[in-house]
Structure formats: structure tokens, C-alpha cells
């Protein structure tokens, strides 16, 4: 031991030659002594002959933390008793997503496992990722709330509240990047006006995060996702130039926004869809005339569009498996499809079930859920349509069109009926955006 101390002292005396001294043994260095020993005297009681650490370059606290982590790693219990960790992970990734919130509460190791990207990336690569419907709704008091629906167990799941900057925002955008990040961006604050702010919700960690702001303040704009990049165009902003022509794109891999080519004319879009790699936008021009433009990311150019697709285009709509679908009735009981050969919209499928004319039953969104077309209504009821077999009839195949009762469906239906009878059929809450996230 004396030799080790002497060797360390010699190394310290030659610091000018930049020869790093070897690590000292725990007996001769107080930075390796148990942190419970408050004084040097206490340390000598358990480690006779100990001396102060003779390596001033060593941070005693960092040294202790590093080794305590190493010790914990050596003695930490397995994820599942009796199984190596790789087999335990193979078991845990098969647990249904609805139970993941409980898994995080079991122990720190499980919490760390389910809070990282490895666990959910493995689920996705093995085809075990589950898709949930996420609904952003404006309640009766004007506040924004977030809801998640598990289609497997047909349950609505609790979610953290929307950050305060978007709790009462108007005209903001919503999109999904990387399959599990729900972005809210832009919009208009009732007090502060148009915003550039961007936030996102991580479906894997169940938490909200901040993202880089947009380059331009705007609300009531159009947005889409192409090749996992977020595109934003048009809209309004307080000031002299109220209606905007500018457009920008956000790349999450680079974490920054960039301007793209401006639109031909300023527009406030009210409907948009990405079809065959091209972004179509339909809205009102600066003179309140209806117009439509298409943007190609490959050429970074906007072109006016005035064909049969635009003339019969209704909201909401969706491009699924190379086909463009739209609703042909307010409650989403009928679907139409765009026929490229005839440049017109044709009847596709009819559910034969008209739910009613109440605004609470209006179809608010069309999304793709587990390969099926999903219709979400303002009363949170959901219908799944199998569009892969258009020649089959709903009467002979009930699974072709499935109606799923959403949150408070029956109660909402009765309330809307009484409101209509009493002459109060106005919409008191409605869906603003709807997306599908994987985890």
C-alpha cells in the first residue's frame, strides 16, 4: 500500500509532463470512502492508515457517483425474476398498450425501459405497435382537451392536459411526425393574437414537449406531412398583410424551419389532403373567392388546380391506398371516391344507417386506423369502414361497416334530441383535430 501511495505522489510531482496518475486504491483515497462517514476521523476508524486523496484532478463527488452507479448496475434485480433481461423484454413488449401506464409504476427499471425509444422501437419493428385515435376537442367553455381511444378494448384513456398556451387557442394546426409525436403549431391566442409557437405530445412517454417556433405567425392555415416533414402554408395574421402567401417546412431531424416557395395567391385554406405525393389545398382567396392550389415538394412549386376533383371535393377527406375518399353526408353515412378516369366523384359505399341531423353527429374527421377508414363524429362516436372490398354489400357483410359507440354516445344522443326539441340544437362542443399515433 505504501508503494502505491509513493507511486501516486511521484506521478503528482510530475504534472508538468502531463503524465496521468493511476487511480488510487480505496484504502488510500477518501473519495472512495462511504459517503456515510461524515469526517476524516470517522473514515480512519474503518480504514486505518488512510490518507487524503493525492490526485487533485479527480472530482471526489463525480468519482463517488460514477462508482455508485456501477455498484447499482452490478446488484440491480432482473426485469423478471428467473429470466435474463433479453427474454424479459421479449415478454414485456407483448403486454397490451393499455397496460403500459401501470407497467411504469412497477419499479424504476421498468419505468426507464418504457420511457426510452428502444422498447417502442422494438415493438414497431416486430409489428406489435398499436394505433390509437387521438382527438383534440373544444369543450363547451371553449377550452381545448386531448382524448385517446383504444380501438382494441374500445376504451377512452386519460391523458395529460394540453399546455396552457393552447388551452384556448383558435385556428391552430395539428399533425403527426415519426408516428408517435402529435404536433400543435401556430394558431391564435385570444389575448396575444397569432402565434409562432410549436409543441408536441409524445405518445411513448405521455408527455408534452417544446419544439422550435415557426418562422411566421399565422392562424387558420393549411398543413400536411410529406416524408416525415411538416409543411405549413397560407392562413391569416394580424397586421397590414392579413392573408398570407408564405409557406414553410419543418424537418424534425434537423430541428429547424425553412421557407419554401410562396403560393400563387394568398389563401385561407379550409380543406387539404396529400394525394400521390402532391399537397392539394382549397380555400378562400384575399377577395373571398374559392380557389385551389397544389404543391409538389420535388419541384418546390405551386400550381393552380381546377378539375373535377376540386369541384366535388368535400371535407373531411383522406387519401388511403392510392384512392381519394370523401364523405357524402353530414353524419358520415355515405362515402364517395374520386375516379381519375372520368375526373369525377362516384358513390362508393352506403352504411344504410342515417344517424340524424344534429350537429353533434356531424363527421369531423377521416383517418386511417389499422388499414381501415375511420370516421370520427363530434359526439366521439366512431365508425370503421373496410374499403378493401368495395363490391361487397353492408347488408351481407356487417363487418364491412362497424359502428363503435364512443364516449357518452347514448347520453349525447338523448341530450341532442332534447336540445333539438327545445330549439337549442346548436353545437356546444366539437372536435377540432383528429390523428392516429403508434406506440
For each of the domains in the chain, give its residue range(s) and CATH number, in order of start. 2-75 (no CATH), 85-125 (no CATH), 160-306 (2.120.10.80)
Q: What is the H or E stretch that residue 193 is in? A: strand 193-194
Mean pLDDT for the stretch of residues 182-195: 96
- What integer pLDDT is reported at residue 231 of this predicted model? 98
- Of residues 151, 176, 97, 131, the one with CA closest to residue 382: 151
pLDDT category of residue 166 using cuts at 50, 70 and 90: very high
- pTM value? 0.79
Q: Which residues contact 242 (CB under 8 A, 6 or more apart)?
A: 236
Q: Specify the pLDDT at position 42.
A: 43
* pLDDT category of residue 73 using cuts at 50, 70 and 90: low
Residue 1 pLDDT > 60, yes or no? Answer: no
- Selected residue with higher pLDDT from 178 and 357: 178
pLDDT band at 36 (very low <50, low <70, confident <90, very high): very low
Burial class (CB in 10 A: 0-12, 13-18, 19+), 128: middle
Can you tell me whether residue 194 is helix, strand or coil? strand
- pLDDT, the chain, mean: 83
What is the model's pLDDT at position 239? 75
pLDDT band at 428 (very low <50, low <70, confident <90, very high): confident
Rounded Cα–Cα distance for residues 339 and 71 (Å): 66
Q: Please tell me which residue, 157 or 181, carries the higher pLDDT value.
A: 181
Whether pLDDT at 52 is above 70? no
Pairwise CA distance, residues 75 & 239, whole Å: 63
pLDDT at position 48 is 45
The confidence band for 201, taking pLDDT boundaries of 50, 70 and 90, is very high
On the question of pLDDT at 364 being above 50, the answer is: yes
Mean pLDDT, residues 374-403? 83
Residues ≥6 apart with Cβ < 8 Å to 78: 84, 85, 88
Amino acid at each position: 500500500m505504501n508503494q502505491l501511495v509513493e507511486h501516486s505522489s511521484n506521478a503528482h510531482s510530475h504534472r508538468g509532463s502531463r503524465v496521468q496518475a493511476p487511480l488510487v486504491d480505496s484504502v488510500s483515497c477518501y473519495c472512495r470512502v462511504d459517503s456515510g462517514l461524515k469526517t476524516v476521523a470517522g473514515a480512519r476508524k474503518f480504514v486505518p492508515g488512510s490518507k487524503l486523496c493525492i490526485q487533485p484532478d479527480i472530482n471526489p463527488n463525480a468519482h463517488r457517483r460514477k462508482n455508485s452507479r456501477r455498484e447499482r448496475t452490478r446488484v440491480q434485480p432482473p426485469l423478471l425474476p428467473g429470466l435474463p433481461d433479453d427474454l424479459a423484454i421479449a415478454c414485456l413488449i407483448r403486454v397490451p398498450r393499455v397496460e403500459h401506464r401501470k407497467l411504469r409504476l412497477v419499479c424504476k427499471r421498468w419505468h426507464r425501459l418504457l420511457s426510452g425509444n428502444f422498447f417502442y422501437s422494438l415493438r414497431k419493428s416486430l409489428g406489435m405497435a398499436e394505433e390509437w385515435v387521438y382527438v383534440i376537442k373544444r369543450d363547451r367553455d371553449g377550452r381545448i382537451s386531448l382524448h385517446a381511444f383504444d380501438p382494441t378494448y374500445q376504451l377512452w384513456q386519460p391523458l395529460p392536459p394540453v399546455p396552457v398556451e393552447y388551452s384556448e387557442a383558435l385556428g391552430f394546426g395539428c399533425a403527426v411526425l415519426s408516428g408517435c409525436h402529435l404536433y400543435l403549431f401556430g394558431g391564435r391566442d385570444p389575448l396575444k393574437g397569432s402565434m409562432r409557437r410549436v409543441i408536441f405530445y409524445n405518445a411513448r412517454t405521455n408527455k408534452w414537449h417544446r419544439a422550435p417556433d415557426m418562422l411566421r405567425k399565422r392562424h387558420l392555415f393549411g398543413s400536411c406531412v410529406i416524408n416525415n416533414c411538416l409543411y405549413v402554408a397560407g392562413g391569416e395574421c394580424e397586421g397590414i398583410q392579413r392573408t398570407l402567401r408564405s409557406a414553410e417546412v419543418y424537418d424534425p431531424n434537423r430541428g429547424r424551419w425553412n421557407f419554401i416557395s410562396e403560393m400563387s395567391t394568398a389563401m385561407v385554406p379550409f380543406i387539404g389532403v396529400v394525394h400521390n405525393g402532391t399537397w392539394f389545398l382549397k380555400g378562400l382567396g384575399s377577395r373571398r373567392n374559392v380557389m385551389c392550389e397544389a404543391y409538389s415538394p420535388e419541384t418546390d412549386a405551386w400550381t393552380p388546380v381546377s378539375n373535377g376533383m376540386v369541384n366535388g371535393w368535400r371535407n373531411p377527406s383522406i387519401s388511403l391506398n392510392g384512392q381519394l375518399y370523401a364523405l357524402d353526408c353530414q353524419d358520415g353515412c355515405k362515402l364517395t371516391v374520386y375516379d381519375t378516369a372520368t375526373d369525377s366523384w362516384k358513390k362508393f359505399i352506403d352504411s344504410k344507417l342515417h344517424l340524424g341531423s344534429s350537429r353533434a353527429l356531424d363527421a369531423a374527421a377521416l383517418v386511417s386506423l389499422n388499414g381501415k377508414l375511420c370516421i370520427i363524429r363530434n359526439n366521439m362516436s366512431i365508425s370503421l369502414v373496410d374499403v378493401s372490398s368495395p363490391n361487397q354489400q353492408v347488408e351481407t357483410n356487417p363487418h364491412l361497416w362497424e359502428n363503435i359507440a364512443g364516449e357518452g354516445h347514448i347520453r349525447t344522443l338523448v341530450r341532442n334530441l332534447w336540445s333539438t326539441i327545445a330549439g337549442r340544437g346548436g353545437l356546444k362542443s366539437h372536435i377540432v383535430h383528429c390523428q392516429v399515433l403508434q406506440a
